[in-house]
Amino acid sequence: MIQLEHITQTYTDPSGNTFQALKDVSLEIEDGEIFGIIGRSGAGKSTLVRCINLLNRPSEGRVIVNEHDLTALPESELREVRRSIGMIFQHFNLLSSRTVYQNVALPLELVGTPKDVIDKKIRPLIELVGLTEHVDKYPSQLSGGQKQRVGIARALANDPKVLLSDEATSALDPETTVATLALLQKINRELGVTIVLITHEMNVVKQICNRVAVMNKGEIVERGNVIDIFARPQSETTKALIGNVVASDLPESIIERVRSARAARSSHEEVHLLRLSFIGDEVTQPVISECSRAFDINFNILRGTVDDMQGRSLGTLTILVEAEADVYEKAVHFLRQRGVNVEELSDVQ
């Protein structure tokens, strides 16, 4: 288990001004799970993940990994414990003068591991990440996705119990991102490695994580199971992150329909772009049609999906509603009373 207890990180600039990158953050991550930490740029998520292996030593608080209080260890013992914590970087950090094999083998070479032991260890790792045919190539001969796979294999060289992934997919195209996340899931499943994944993309969290913590301005503003966070976000930060995903997924033709509806609305009507979400059995209930009949209100469905997340169904609808204010409020209340989460999206203007 990873336990972060009251972590605060304060920086002082040359002029003596102080800035708190982390503010009294406490967090527990269970063995064997894939845990996401998400937030916008500057939220403090990368600073926080670097506290887990003490690459960033917090100003206050304790970091406990597998029952070791890293903040209390002398440097010699800390180095030993760090070997059980692998790290994957956004920009790969490969040595251009070394082959795939040599890059993956580097952590073992640095601790004096015999060559025959290295070979027995490294070749299966290269096979695990799907780079057997590229074992003697140099980084300049690899694609971005292949470079990241080298970084993943290298991070696994010391048999880590924890794998930290700091924006590991943000430099990759969407197709390669999906493949890389599938590889991380395979590693988690087959090797039992706990993965802590830092990202600013809700789609990444949605695909791979069991639980997630949402950060804003150095604090955790929400945490929980991914499906619950997606279905019923509580903080404004989380709602905005999910709303950005929905809005960015809408085709331009639909966005134009939204704009046209708003431009053509009558003086007594309001136009609302909503995201409705349902969990489990709610997905199969006819609540939309019931609401439409009850309040004589039309729902223009723009997009709908049903996803399977951790064995549960999550349904989402993006809809356009034109109605008078009092009718709209009654309809929203009706939906929420029946377990539907209703969010207004403001990202499409």
pLDDT tens-digit map of 89-145: 888 889 999 999 999 999 999 989 999 999 999 999 999 999 999 999 999 999 999
pLDDT of residue 306: 79
pLDDT lower than 50: segments of the chain: none
For 250-344, CATH gives 3.30.70.260
pLDDT of residue 310: 67
pLDDT of residue 283: 56
pLDDT of residue 7: 96
C-alpha 137, offset from chain centre: 31
- Structure tokens of 90? 């956004």
Q: What is the 3-state secondary structure (H, E, C) of the chain?
A: CEEEEEEEEEEECCCCCEEEEEEEEEEEECCCCEEEEECCCCCCHHHHHHHHCCCCCCCEEEEEECCEEHHHCCHHHHHHHHCCEEEECCCCCCCCCCCHHHHHHHHHHHCCCCHHHHHHHHHHHHHHCCCHHHCCCCHHHCCHHHHHHHHHHHHCCCCCCEEEEECCCCCCCHHHHHHHHHHHHHHHHHHCCEEEEEECCHHHHHHHCCEEEEEECCEEEEEEEHHHHHHCCCCHHHHHHHHHHHHHHCCHHHHHHHHHHHHHCCCCCEEEEEEEEEEHHHHHCCHHHHHHHHHCCCEEEEEEEEEEECCEEEEEEEEEEEECHHHHHHHHHHHHHCCCEEEECCCCC
Domain boundary assignment for the chain: 2-231, 250-344
Q: Do domains 2-231 and 250-344 have the same CATH topology?
A: no
- Structure tokens of 226? 């991914």
pLDDT of residue 316: 84
At residue 99, φ and ψ (nearest 5 deg) are -70, 175
pLDDT of residue 282: 59
CA dist 6 and 216 (Å) reads 16
For 2-231, CATH gives 3.40.50.300
Q: Which residue type occupies 273?
A: L
pLDDT of residue 320: 86
CA dist 252 and 288 (Å) reads 25
pLDDT of residue 118: 93
pLDDT of residue 202: 85
* pTM given for the model: 0.82
